[in-house]
Structure 1
Amino acid sequence: MSTEGPGVDDAIRTMLLFMPRIVGRVKKIRIPDELQSFSLAPRHLSLLAYLLFEGQMGVNELAARLEVAPATVSLMVSELSRKGILERHEDEADRRRTLVSIADAHRPAIDSWLGKGATAWRKAFEPLSAGERQMFIDTLAAYDREIAQE
């Protein structure tokens, strides 16, 4: 291995060892007791994460960020609103627009649950330059695209 880093095969070997361990640890993150009965699925996690870290948003903005159709987000928002996890309210600036936010009653549980991952990512990303962070994100995105094709 050179001082610049591992060769491609060594990097692949390392990642093939890391990924199952990382996925296993993520799967073990326990859903808080107060959220257990809501049957939250992986598709809900990204939506909740955006609302938690970015604040209230419109359905179209959520759809764009999640890279899914607005109808898909509308269905998820309806489902989570019926369960009391999300709240919908009129945008004061544009009454035709509906904003979605996490219900105050569930915000602490969602924050403690998703916040653990955010803290871990912050510790991993802070020592990196902006370019290094972007390279890491681009690399994971490329891996995701390739895995999805198989």
Structure 2
Amino acid sequence: MSTADPADEAVRELLLLTPRLIGRIKRLPLPHQLRSFDLAPRHLSLLSLLLLDGPLTVSQLAEKLNVAPTTVSLIVSELSRKGVLERREDDADRRRRIVDINPTSREAISQWLSPGARAWRAALSPLSPAQRRMFVDTFLAYEAAFADDPDQGPASET
């Protein structure tokens, strides 16, 4: 009789899959227009949010990315200097600044991020809304468990 945890086979498969997946994501070629901007993984989530959700404030980005507003502000400043992002006044509240992708970079960023979006759509479309929610919740639980692992050191915000 086996004493192995019933989840061990799934854990094994996921541990083998994860490095392959990360490797493929890292090998996504940057469109020519973006190569000189020295974009890193920390930029990927922020740019994805702006592409999918449209213009947002720094506070909204920080909340959705689950990082400190100062972290988002630093990334936004960096990408604004490079011309990837633009900041403008909020017409409803002139004290707030709205962050958006610079129109000259939007198509290239969409091109860069679309393979990942297409792959997620293909994987998630056959699932019911409840199954999709369970999948996302499982990923979030994995992230939380990994972040809480004392052997991993402090969680990074970028």
TM-score by length of 2: 0.86
Q: Which aligned segments of 4 or more residues in structure 1 are displaced greater than 6 angstroms? A: none
Q: Which letter does structure 2 place at the counterpart of 1:79?
A: E
Alignment pair present for 1:34 and 2:33: yes
1:108-147 matches, cutoff 5 A: 108-147=107-146
Helix, strand or coil at the partner of 2:93: coil
Distance 2:19 2:68 in 1: 30
Match for residue 92 of structure 1?
91
Match for residue 107 of structure 1?
106
Listed one character per residue, the Cα deviations across residues 68-90 of structure 1 (whole Å, up to 9, x for unaligned) are 11111111111111110000011
Listed one character per residue, the Cα deviations across residues 41-73 of structure 1 (whole Å, up to 9, x for unaligned) are 111111100000100001110010011111111
Q: Which letter does structure 2 place at the counterpart of 1:29?
A: L
User: RCO higher in 1 or 2 (8 Å CA, sep ≥ 6)?
Assistant: 2
Distance 1:17 1:67 in 2: 27
Report the alpha carbon displacement of residue 16 of structure 1 after superposing the two structures with TM. 2.0
**Unmatched segments (≥5 aa) in structure 1:** 1-6
Report the alpha carbon displacement of residue 117 of structure 1 after superposing the two structures with TM. 0.5
Report the alpha carbon displacement of residue 145 of structure 1 after superposing the two structures with TM. 2.2
CA RMSD of aligned residues (A): 1.2
Distance 1:107 1:139 in 2: 31
Distance 2:144 2:96 in 1: 33
> Identity rate of aligned residues, in percent?
55
